[in-house]
């Protein structure tokens, strides 16, 4: 089935709405406010997604041998719970005041291309006993196409990430295997909710050149 970005974005919104807005923990008279806040977050930070490219600043890779596409303690976050991802931010709704999340973000190493910050939201997401925390990725330069990471950033960030393990790699992975790691999720064969077709195809050409050089070892055949 062909990848349709609009449908993928709508599916993501509906999933986020079920979790953050329509849950029994949100009072009926608060749902309009919560739904409006969710739509504002999508407008500001991009569509709801299921996972990030491994080169995205929101998922710093502490162990390049075990790539991470979801924010978790494996990439430095503490205290996440009931979390929804957007293209360039995520909201987590832990019980309590969310201090662990904020402190873990403040302790992270700075990224050369973006600034990661965390803040509390005064929004009735998920449950009245939780505190929504917005973790946002503010890129240091504006994107020509809204919410789409441009080629000049996506390609070098991908190269930088893939180069970290070239000397320990045993096989080169096929592009089809690597798409969710390099394009994010959801994705199609030539684009995703993070990169447009031109950028994705440039990434594919560069990645395949790396694989075909033999730097990762022989191409995986299974």
Query: How do the domains of the chain map onto residue ranges?
Result: 5-139, 151-212
Cis ω before 3 (30° cut-off from 0):
no
For 42-70, write each residue's pLDDT tens digit: 999 999 999 999 999 999 998 878 899 99
Q: Are 100 and 93 in contact (CB under 8 A)?
A: no
pLDDT at residue 193 greater than cutoff 60: yes
What residues contact residue 221 under an 8 Å CB cut-off, 6+ apart?
A: none
pLDDT of residue 22: 95
Between 65 and 152, the higher pLDDT residue:
152
pLDDT of residue 7: 95
pLDDT at residue 113 greater than cutoff 90: yes
pLDDT of residue 136: 98
Query: What mean pLDDT do residues 82-100 have?
Result: 97
Strands 89-92 and 114-120: unpaired
pLDDT of residue 2: 60
Q: Are 94 and 101 in contact (CB under 8 A)?
A: yes
Query: What mean pLDDT do residues 12-39 have?
Result: 96
pLDDT of residue 1: 45
Percent of the chain with pLDDT over 70: 99
Query: What mean pLDDT do residues 187-205 have?
Result: 96
Q: How far apart are CA 196 and CA 92, in angstroms?
A: 27
The shares of helix, strand and coil residues in the chain, as percent rounded to the nearest 5, are: 35, 15, 50
Q: Are 147 and 199 in contact (CB under 8 A)?
A: no
Q: How much is the mean pLDDT over the chain?
A: 95
Query: What mean pLDDT do residues 36-47 have?
Result: 98
For 120-135, write each residue's pLDDT tens digit: 999 999 999 999 999 9
pLDDT at residue 71 greater than cutoff 80: yes
């Amino acid at each position: 089935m062909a990848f349709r970005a609009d449908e993928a974005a709508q599916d993501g919104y509906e999933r986020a709405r079920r979790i953050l807005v329509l849950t029994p923990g949100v009072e009926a008279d608060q749902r309009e406010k919560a739904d409006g806040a969710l739509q504002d977050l999508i407008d500001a930070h991009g569509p709801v997604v299921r996972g990030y490219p491994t080169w995205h600043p929101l998922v710093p890779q502490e162990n390049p041998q075990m790539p991470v596409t979801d924010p978790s303690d494996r990439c430095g976050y503490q205290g996440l719970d009931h979390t929804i991802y957007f293209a360039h931010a995520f909201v987590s709704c832990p019980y309590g005041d969310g201090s662990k999340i904020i402190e873990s973000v403040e302790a992270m190493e700075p990224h050369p291309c973006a600034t990661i910050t965390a803040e509390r939201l005064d929004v009735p997401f998920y449950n009245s006993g939780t505190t929504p925390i917005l973790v946002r990725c503010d890129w240091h330069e504006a994107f020509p196409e809204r919410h789409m990471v441009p080629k000049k950033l996506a390609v070098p960030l991908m190269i930088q990430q893939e180069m970290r393990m070239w000397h320990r790699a045993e096989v080169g992975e096929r592009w089809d295997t690597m798409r969710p790691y390099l394009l994010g999720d959801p994705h199609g064969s030539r684009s995703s909710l993070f990169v447009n077709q031109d950028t994705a195809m440039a990434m594919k050409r560069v990645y395949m050149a790396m694989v075909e050089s033999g730097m990762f070892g022989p191409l995986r055949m299974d």
